[in-house]
A and B are shown apart, each in its own frame.
Chain A
Amino acid sequence: MPTARSWTEGLLREQGRAVADVGTLLRFRAAHVRRPRAFRAGLVLFALATTATAVVPAHLPGAGGPGRAQDVLLLLPTALAGLVLIAVVSAVASGGGRELLARDPAAVHPISPTTDHLGALVLAPLNIAWLLQAWTLLGAASYGAGAGPLVALQTAMLLWLVLATAVGQVVAWGVEGVRRLRFGEVGVRLLTVAAVVVVLLLQLDDRLVPLLDQVPTVRVVAISVGGVTAAWWGVVGTLAGLSVAAVVLGALPAHLATRRVPHDELRVESESHRARPLPRSDLAVLLRTDRGSVWRAVPMRRGLAVLAIGPGVVALVGDLDWVQLTILPGLVASGGALLFGVNAWCLDGRGGLWRESLPVGAGTVFAARAWVLAEFLVAASLVTVALGGLRAGVPTATEATALLAMLAVVTVQVVGAAMRWSLAHPYAVDLRSARATPAPPLMMVGYSSRLALSTTMTGLVFSGLARLEAPGLPLLLAVPFLCWSGARLARAHERWTDPVQRARVVVTAAA
């Protein structure tokens, strides 16, 4: 009688072990949180905010009735489809999602690709784009449907969130697997361009909205609004089943991708750069070194491409006008800072100790780093605005000055915040992998929330000004904004010039 384990038994045991490992890694990460009290407060705040977003709008005047609530409800299916798109783009851009444990420390542990995949799924919501989409969806569903079918609709929405995230992860691992094939990178790029062109052509032909109306999300919303019925159980069961299937299925491309080497990362780590003439000033040589650290890093290159082109294409497809485009530089600058700016001193890695022993003023070093971050953010914003503006026609004088003022203000605002946080909370991070982030996931949520809030508020002010017939007004109002953010940047500069503070940052980042 055969006594060997069947393959299904082995597979189940493997899956069980992967789930247990995710738990172990999460506990490990939680144990190393620098401010446990703030961590717990953040979790409670997150739960309260999510619950409030899902429940409170249903009790607002007009919720669930005709008029505006009805309009919101009609947009819900499109929002559901958009959520899948955001989940896919986010996971693809980060090369398969975030890591529970960074690559180098993880290398000595037997962490399976399944564990890695499940960990990335758990961390996926710790992303401001995901959170904003999810809260918008829950809030809109709550307001649109009212208190009556709230439980039924929100259950379906939550399941959709899980399904969209899991599907995004499956696609991301699949794309990463293809990208790691020979000529895979070119293939993925061509595929991306083709997808963008198809969407653009559909939009230009006025066929995009009718096509979106055909997506099955319409059925999900229509049935869930009817409350707990037999059809609703069918929808919920289908969503739950598909979610489980996507979570399990994702492990397969994760294994395939992990077996192949990431060509782009290896190429960057082994590429040669011809010698250039010696720069004429200290600042110039520091700028050149810092630019190399940014533009030669895979996560920054990939992140910038997604950040600059993504919103630009959305603006192009959505045919946004210049007033609406004024908000975009804030969002793009916030995203750009999250690629490395919030922990700007980690760019030097362990070279920070040597660099700190060089005889150059601390102020010059700070100026170079802040300048390189600023030009990175401006470059991304300009690409977005240029793309988005292709169909927006010629801006009026007020629109042009509002956009310029907004660009200047948010750049200084974001650079100031990023340099302050880089000093206050340095981390030793190796930004060689596309999956690496400059700070731990929860810190990233905090940073992204604060950046999104401040830049959106600024954006609303300047887009409001863009509607007026006063071209000088945006420039005039930019002055106090710039003074405020400039002063905060100057304070960060002052702190950096303190040798004790600087030593703490350099030693931590080089650890």
Chain B
Amino acid sequence: MGEGERDRALVEVRDLHVRFGEVEAVGGVHLTAYAGRATALLGRNGAGKSTTMRVLAGVVPPTSGSVLVAGHDVRRHPMAAKRAVGYCPDVGGLVPRATPWEHLQLAARLRRLPTGWEPRARDLLERFELGDVAHRVTAGFSHGMGRRLSVVLAALHEPQVLLLDEPFDGVDPLGVEATLEVVADARSRGAAVLVSTHLRELAIEACSTVSVLRGGAQVAEMSALDMAGEEGARAYRSLLD
């Protein structure tokens, strides 16, 4: 991937507002995510990270503001935006009485994956140690297993924009490693990656840029390296208050 390609913005959010009745979940977020880079969304509970992710995934429409995903306006062309995105939601993300393979088949069919998608699906399941339970209903899955499968489903079609909301939550070290590999793979093929997490150290490890949200608005954007170590922890802490 060339330098020009790398600087191409795949996610452009300008003054995003999302309201649920009286509650303003997101109040003026500006965000840009570039091809081949991973951006971490950090912030306290209720900062608007998950709602921003849901808007980018086409699940929640923006109340106002401009949101472009891979060049598609999510309000005007939601289907095109959805085709460009792979989304791991913050809660669950799995249909309780379907098996992992059925989830993959549903995604493959609706995303029009060409014949021959199965080996990649099997490979992803194996990498996330879910190969043995590929045909078991997900209702009995542990939280960590569910998280890992959600990452697999988001990554299956090699999307241009990969959205991972709390992908490390309750996941064991092997699952964390596999998730970091998925992020690295996506970056190397030129995808923009957005990772929302409360785990600062993992965010730094996975991402090159960090965006901090507070009270539904963005308060800082900086290099991930600036967030590292004791100094970074203090800087992050000061941004949360």
Contact = CB atoms under 8 A, between A and B. Distances in A.
A361 B20 CA distance: 24
Interface in B51-72: 54, 57-61
B235 interface: no
A357 B85 CA distance: 8
Interface in B13-59: 20, 54, 57-59
Contacts of A506: 59
Given A269-B140, A272-B136, A510-B91, A357 B58 contact: yes
B109 A279 contact: yes
Interface in A249-300: 266, 268-275, 278-279, 282, 285-286, 288-289, 292-293, 296-297
B101 A293 contact: no
B9 interface: no
B95 A293 contact: yes
A359 B79 contact: yes
A321 interface: no
A350 B98 CA distance: 12
Contacts of B99: 272-273
Given A270-B137, A351-B93, A357 B98 contact: no
Contacts, number: 132
B60 A503 contact: yes
A319 interface: no
A354 B153 contact: yes
A407 to B, nearest CB: 28
B96 A270 contact: no
Contact of B59 (A279, A296, A348, A353): A353
A180 B78 CA distance: 48
A285 B105 contact: yes
A273 to B, nearest CB: 6
Main secondary structure of the interface of B (DSSP, over half): mixed
A162 B140 CA distance: 38
Given A270-B140, A275-B135, A285-B110, A296 B97 contact: yes
A432 interface: yes
B187 interface: no
B233 interface: no
A47 B150 CA distance: 49
B136 A356 contact: no
Given A349-B96, A503-B59, A354 B150 contact: yes
Contact of B61 (A268, A358, A500): A500
A358 B82 CA distance: 6
Contacts of B111: 358-359
The residue among B87, B98, B135 with the most chain A CB atoms within 10 A of its own CB is B98
Contacts of A269: 137, 139-140
Contacts of A350: 89, 91-94, 96
A268 B105 CA distance: 21
A185 interface: no
Contacts of B105: 275, 278-279, 285
Interface in B144-198: 150, 153
The residue among A266, A347, A349 with the most chain B CB atoms within 10 A of its own CB is A349
B55 to A, nearest CB: 9
Nearest to A511: B91
B155 to A, nearest CB: 13
A18 B102 CA distance: 44
Nearest to A361: B79
A200 to B, nearest CB: 35
A184 B223 CA distance: 62
A167 B85 CA distance: 56
B136 A353 contact: no
Given A273-B135, A275-B135, A507-B60, A353 B110 contact: no
22 contacts: A268-B97, A274-B135, A278-B109, A289-B106, A292-B102, A293-B96, A296-B137, A348-B95, A351-B92, A351-B96, A353-B57, A353-B93, A354-B95, A354-B150, A356-B57, A357-B85, A357-B87, A358-B110, A499-B61, A500-B61, A510-B91, A511-B91
Interface of A: 266, 268-275, 278-279, 282, 285-286, 288-289, 292-293, 296-297, 347-351, 353-361, 430, 432, 499-500, 503-504, 506-507, 510-511
Given A279-B109, A285-B106, A358-B106, 15 more contacts: A271-B137, A272-B99, A273-B137, A275-B101, A275-B135, A286-B106, A353-B57, A353-B89, A354-B93, A357-B58, A357-B59, A357-B85, A357-B87, A504-B20, A507-B54
Interface of B: 20, 54, 57-61, 78-79, 82-83, 85, 87-89, 91-99, 101-103, 105-111, 134-137, 139-140, 150, 153
CB-CB nearest 5 A-B residue pairs:
A350-B92, A351-B95, A269-B140, A353-B89, A357-B87
